[in-house]
Amino acid sequence: MDFSAYKTALVTGASSGIGAGIVRRLTREGLEVHALARNEDRLRALSEETGCRFHAISVDDNDALEKLAAEVEVDVLINNAGQSRKGDILNTTAEDVDALLDINLKSVMHMVRLFVPGMVARDRGHVVNISSIAGHYAFPGGNTAYHASKAGVHSLCQQLRVHLYGTQVRVTEISPARVETEVFGRLLGDMEEAKRRFFDEYESLKPEDIAEAIAFAVGSPQRMNVAFMEILPTKQVLGGLNFAKRNA
C-alpha cells in the first residue's frame, strides 16, 4: 500500500525533534497531517511551514483526545510523544513514575483505543509506535520507569498485531538508539551542556533519519508489514557485561 491509499495522519509529540521531522516527511507525501503537542507556538510555526493542522493537546488529556477522535478520521497514527526523567526506581519520586507511565505507555494505549477501531471499520490503516532501545536492553544510567514504559510499548505492539489479525491494519514498532533531540537538554536542564556531553563528539541519529524509516514502513506494499525496526547510529553498539567483585 503506497501513500496514495492513505488520506490522513496524526502525529503526537509533534512540536519538535522526531515528531516535527515526521510531520514534515508525511506532508511531503500529500497526507493531511494532524500535529499534536502541548506547545501551541511551535505547532503554529510548524503549521505555517508545512501546512499541517495542529492541536495543542497533551496526550494525557483523555477528554480532549476523545473529542478529537470523534472529529478526525485517522489512517496513519504515529505515537511519538514521550518523556524521560533522571534517577532509577531506588531514588525516584511518585510523580516521576506516574509521568513516565502516563505519557510513554498509557497515552499510547489510549490513542490506540480511540483511533484504531475506525481503521478496522474501514479496513485501512497503519499504527507506528516509537519505543526505544531502553525497552529491550538494560544499561547503566537508565531510568527504570522509562525502560519499563518502553518495554510496555513493545508488548503492546506485539499484542495489537494479534488483535488486528485478518485486517489490513498494520503495526510498526520503531526502536531508536540515541537521536539528536532536545530530550537530553530537558533531562539535564541545560541544552548546551547536553549538546557538549552527548552530541559534540558523537555522530548520532537525526530526527529526519527516524522520519525516513517511518516513511519506508508506511509506504511499503500492503502485503508487507515492517513489524519492528531497531535503529542505531553506526558507531553505537548494544551489550556489554559487568561483573561486580565480592563485597564490592
Q: What is the residue extent of each domain of the chain?
A: 3-230
pLDDT recorded at residue 237: 86
Q: pLDDT (tens digit, 9 = 90+) per residue, 55-87?
A: 999 999 999 999 999 999 999 999 999 998 887
CB atoms < 10 A from the CB of 127, how many?
Answer: 25
The residue to which cell 555522530 is assigned: 203
Query: Cβ(150)–Cβ(98) under 8 Å?
Result: no
pLDDT recorded at residue 132: 96
CB atoms < 10 A from the CB of 62, how many?
Answer: 14
Looking at domain 3-230, its CATH architecture is 3-Layer(aba) Sandwich (3.40)
pTM over 0.95: no
3-state helix, strand, coil in the chain (%, to 5): 45, 15, 40
Asked if 146 is an active-site residue, the reply is: yes
Residues whose CB falls within 8 Å of the CB of residue 222, separated by 6 or more in sequence, listed in order: 1, 5, 168
The residue to which cell 567483585 is assigned: 245
Q: pLDDT (tens digit, 9 = 90+) per residue, 77-135?
A: 999 999 988 878 888 899 999 999 999 999 999 999 999 999 999 999 999 999 999 99
Task: Calculate the alpha carbon distances from 130 to 91, 149, 172, 213 in Å.
Answer: 27, 11, 8, 11
Q: pLDDT (tens digit, 9 = 90+) per residue, 167-210?
A: 999 999 999 998 987 676 676 677 787 677 777 887 888 999 99
